[in-house]
Chains A and B, each alone.
Chain A
Amino acid sequence: DQQVKQNSPSLSVQEGRISILNCDYTNSMFDYFLWYKKYPAEGPTFLISISSIKDKNEDGRFTVFLNKSAKHLSLHIVPSQPGDSAVYFCAASGGNDMRFGAGTRLTVKP
Chain B
Amino acid sequence: SQTIHQWPATLVQPVGSPLSLECTVEGTSNPNLYWYRQAAGRGLQLLFYSVGIGQISSEVPQNLSASRPQDRQFILSSKKLLLSDSGFYLCAWSFTSGNTIYFGEGSWLTVV
A residues with a Cβ closer than 8 A to B are 4, 6, 9, 32, 34, 36, 41-46, 49, 89, 91, 93, 96, 98-103
Given contacts A41-B106, A43-B106, A96-B51, contact A102 B100 (CB under 8 A): no
Interface string of B43-68 (1 = CB under 8 A from A): 11110010100000000000000000
Chain A: CB-nearest residue to B49: A96
- Of the A-B pairs whose beta carbons lie under 8 Å apart in the complex, a sample of 10, sorted by A's number, is A4-B43, A34-B101, A43-B90, A46-B100, A46-B101, A98-B101, A99-B46, A101-B43, A102-B42, A102-B43
Q: How far is the CA of A70 from the CA of B43 in the complex (A)?
A: 22
**Are B103 and A44 in touch, CB under 8 angstroms?**
yes
Contact indicator per residue, chain B 5-46, by CB within 8 Å of chain A (1) or not (0): 000000000000000000000000000100010000111111
How far, in angstroms, from A32 to B101 measured CA to CA in the complex?
A: 12
Asked if B41 and A102 make an inter-chain contact with CB atoms under 8 angstroms apart, the answer reads yes
Within 8 A of A (CB), among B80-112: 88, 90, 92, 99-106, 108
Residues of B within 8 A of A34 (CB): 99-101
Whether A44 pairs with B100 at a CB distance below 8 angstroms is no
Q: Give chain B's interface residue range (CB within 8 Å of chain A).
A: 20 to 34
Residues of A within 8 A of B46 (CB): 98-99
Q: Are B49 and A42 in contact (CB under 8 A)?
A: no
**What residue of chain A has the Cβ atom nearest to residue B42's Cβ?**
A102
The complex places the Cα of A13 from the Cα of B90 at a distance, in Å, of: 29
Give Cα distance in the complex from A94 to B35, angstroms: 18
Q: Which residue in A9, A44, A96 is a CB contact (below 8 Å) of B44? A: A44
B4 to chain A, nearest CB (A): 8
Minimum C-beta distance from A106 to chain B (A): 15
Report the bound CA distance from A103 to B44 in whole Å: 9
Cβ–Cβ contact A96 & B32, under 8 A: yes
CB proximity of B101 to chain A, nearest CB, Å:
6
